[in-house]
Amino acid sequence: MEGRLARIFIRLGSVITLAFLYVPLFVVAIYAFSKSRSGSWPPQLFTLHWFSVAWQDPTLRGAIGTSIVAAVCATSIALVLGTLASFAVHKFRFFGRDTVSFILVLPIALPGIVTALALSSAVQQASGSTGLTFGLVAIILGHATFCVVVVFNNVVARLRRTPGSWVEASMDLGGDGPMTFRRVTLPNLRTALIAAALLAFGLSFDEIVVTKYLAGSTLTLPLWIYNNISKPFQRPIVNVVSLVVLLVSLIPVYIAQRLTGSAQGLAAESTERAIDEAGPG
């Protein structure tokens, strides 16, 4: 259907784009094995020394732990709030229904610096009366706020594809609310929830723009990287950490792809992530 010339151009363009996407990742990978401390080119290979140094760095392990805790908490909150809201929006036509979707999207639709500024001045104002201060709790609150829409979008999309007759049938057969939820609704939502949870987790784990404003003295992994990327002696460790995180995150992406079962599904889920990243990215 496409002309010969067009096909050649398209293939060539695709190769260029893919190369563009992966060359910097190779650079990161190479530097993880570089002997020299400074980041100048070319790197002197080859050593595994920095992997052991990274493993022994006490602040690094704490930062990874904090990131995991924050991501788990934020994802859990987002799962609950997002699912509840999606049920409300799906079933009811109430005044301001569109407004609700809009409000949920705002934290990620607005540029990240705006969200960061808003949340951090809120913490500053609230610190006097509520004792809330910059730290892990503030981070979790901030992350949950923009993770909610990830869950919301995924669940609403799944609910739209679910025939409402199933719930009615279940009720006709004598199931009450909780039983219908457990036996009919939840299994249907399960893969959407897992995919959403993975996306929300990844979003929270990699977040730096808003976290930088909320963290106080707490270190998450991106903040650890930010602090250490400007310390020349620590840079090789940062490269090691990035390589490991990249390799480890192959797993959830692969799982997400299998769960959604198709390329289209993965594209849809990743478009969700893209929408979410459009804010605090």
Partner 1 sequence: MAASTATVPPPKRSLGLRSSAFLFRHPRVRLTFTLGPTLAWMIVIYLFSLAVLLVSSLWSVNPLTSQIEHVWTLSNYQTILHNAVYRTITIRTVMLAVAVTITDLLLAFPLSYYAARMASDRVRNALLFAVVMPLWANYLVKVFAWKTMVAGNGPVDAFFGLFGWHPDIATSLIAVWITLSYLWLPYVILPIFAAFERVPSSYLEASGDLGARSGRTFRKIVLPLVFPGLIAASIFSFSLTLGDYITVELISKSILLGNTIDAYAGGTANDQPLAAALATIPIAIMAVYLLIARALGAFEAL
Partner 2 sequence: MRRFVGVIAVIAALSLVGAACSKSSSTSTGTGAAQPLKYDPNAALEDNLNLVIWPLYAEKDVVKPFEAAMGGKCIVKTKDANTSDEMVNFMKQPGVWDGVSASGDATLRLIASNLVSPVDVTSFKGYSNVMPSLQAPAHNTVDGVHYGVPYEWGPNILMYNTSVVKPAPTSWDITFEPQINGAANPYAGKITGYDSAIYIADAAMYLKTHNPDLGITDPYELTSDQLDAAVNLLKGQKPLISKYWNVWSDEVDAFESGDMVAGTAWPANQNVLESDAKVQVASVTPTEGVTGWADTWMMSSSAPDPNCMLAWMNYTLTDQVQADTAYTFGATPSVTTACDTLKRKLIAGYGAAVGAAAYPLYHCADDSYLAKIYLWKTPVSNCGDSRGNTCTDYTTWQQDWTDVKGS
Binding site for partner 2 (CB under 8 A): 37-40, 96, 98-99, 101-103, 106, 124-125, 127-129, 133-135, 216-217, 227, 230-232
- Contact partner, 7, from partner 1, partner 2, none, Cβ < 5-8 Å per class: partner 1
- Contact partner, 222, from partner 2, partner 1, none, Cβ < 5-8 Å per class: partner 1
Residue 157, both tokens: 């999309």
- Which residues lie across from 45 on neighbouring strands? 34
Contact 38/232 with Cβ under 8 angstroms? yes
Shortest Cβ 169–partner 1 spacing (Å): 15
Shortest Cβ 68–partner 1 spacing (Å): 15
Shortest Cβ 23–partner 2 spacing (Å): 19
Residue 75 CA to residue 55 CA, distance in Å, equals: 27
- Contact partner, 129, from partner 1, partner 2, none, Cβ < 5-8 Å per class: partner 2
| SS3 assignment for 128-149 | HHHCCCCCHHHHHHHHHHHHHH
In the complex with partner 1, the residue whose CB is nearer, 71 or 277, is 277
- Contact partner, 66, from partner 2, partner 1, none, Cβ < 5-8 Å per class: none
In the complex with partner 2, the residue whose CB is nearer, 199 or 214, is 214
In the complex with partner 2, the residue whose CB is nearer, 165 or 217, is 217
Per DSSP, helices labelled H in 33-91 are: 49-56, 58-91
Residue 44 CA to residue 35 CA, distance in Å, equals: 5
In the complex with partner 2, the residue whose CB is nearer, 104 or 240, is 104
Spatial CA neighbour of 66 closest among 151, 128, 136: 136
- Contact partner, 239, from partner 2, partner 1, none, Cβ < 5-8 Å per class: partner 1
Residue 52 CA to residue 34 CA, distance in Å, equals: 14
Shortest Cβ 52–partner 1 spacing (Å): 20
Shortest Cβ 98–partner 2 spacing (Å): 4
Shortest Cβ 239–partner 2 spacing (Å): 15
First vs last C-alpha separation in the chain: 38
- Contact partner, 133, from partner 1, partner 2, none, Cβ < 5-8 Å per class: partner 2
Spatial CA neighbour of 210 closest among 150, 127, 89, 123: 123
In the complex with partner 1, the residue whose CB is nearer, 28 or 259, is 28
**Residue 109 vs residues 76, 105, 117, 149, 210: alpha-carbon distances, Å:** 22, 6, 14, 10, 13
**Exposure of 248 by Cβ count < 10 A (0-12 exposed, 13-18 middle, 19+ buried)?**
exposed
Residue 212 CA to residue 226 CA, distance in Å, equals: 9
In the complex with partner 1, the residue whose CB is nearer, 6 or 186, is 6
In the complex with partner 2, the residue whose CB is nearer, 57 or 206, is 57
- Contact partner, 208, from partner 1, partner 2, none, Cβ < 5-8 Å per class: partner 1
Shortest Cβ 190–partner 1 spacing (Å): 19
